[in-house]
Amino acid sequence: MTDSQPILMRHLENIADRTDELGVVFYGLLETRHPSLMDSFGPESTQRTQMLTQILAGVHDSMYVEDAEWVALQLRALGRAHVDWKVTPEMYDQVCGCLVDALSQLGDSGWSPELEEVWTAQLSKISVLMHGQGRP
Ligand code: HEM
C-alpha cells in the first residue's frame, strides 16, 4: 500500500454523496476554461453527473494497489476506448486540472495541500496510463 492510498480513499468516501455539488463546480470551471470540451460530456445534467461519477470510479479503482499490473491493463483498455471517443492527451490535463480545482473549492471536505498533491499525482498517473504519452 502506498502512503497516498489511504488519504485519497478516505477523501473519496467523504465526497461520495456530493457528486452533484462537485459537478456544479467542475462543469462551471470546464465551461469557463475549456468550453469546447463541454460537448464531450453531453448536454444533460444527469449525463454530466454520470461522466463525473465514472471518472471518480476510475480513480477509486486505480487505487487497487494490490495488483498494479491489472490496474494498468484496465486503464490502458479504458484509454483505448477514449481514443475511439476522440479524447486527446491534452484533454486529460484540462479535465484533471478542473477536477482538482473543483475538489479544492468543495467546502467541508477536509481539503489540504497533501490532498492536492495526492489527487494531482494520481490523476496524472491515470492519465499517462490511459493516453500512453510519456508512459515509462
Ligand atoms: C482521469 C481520467 C478519466 C477517467 C478515469 C475516465 C473514466 C471513464 C469511464 C470509467 C468511462 C465509462 C467507460 C465505459 O462505459 O465503458 C468513461 C467514458 C467516457 N469518457 Fe472518460 N475518463 C477520463 C477522462 C476523460 C476525458 C479527459 C474525456 C474528454 C474530455 C472523457 C470523455 C469520456 C467520454 C466521451 C466517455 C463515453 C461516454 C459514453 O458515451 O458513454 N473522459 N470515462
Pocket test for ligand 1, best of 41, 55, 94 (most atoms within 8 A of CB): 55
Q: Which atom of ligand 1 is nearest to the CA of 99?
A: 1
| Euclidean distance between CA atoms 42 and 61, whole angstroms | 24
Q: For the chain, what is the domain count?
A: 1
> Mean pLDDT of all residues in the chain?
92
Domain span at 81: 4-134
pLDDT computed for residue 1 by the predictor: 43
**How many Å lie between the centroid of ligand 1 and the Cα of residue 38?**
13
pLDDT computed for residue 67 by the predictor: 87
The ranges of the chain with pLDDT < 50 are 1
| Euclidean distance between CA atoms 96 and 110, whole angstroms | 19
Q: What is the DSSP string of 4-43?
A: HHHHHHHHHHHTTT-HHHHHHHHHHHHHHH-GGGGGGG-S
pTM summary value:
0.94
Residue among 54, 134, 65 at smallest CA distance from 93: 134
The alpha carbon of residue 66 and the mean position of all alpha carbons in its chain are separated, in whole angstroms, by: 20
Pocket test for ligand 1, best of 34, 51, 74 (most atoms within 8 A of CB): 51
Contact yes or no for 95/37 (Cβ under 8 A): yes
- What CATH number has the domain bearing residue 36? 1.10.490.10
pLDDT computed for residue 82 by the predictor: 95
Which residue in the block uniquely carries the three cell numbers 490511459?
130
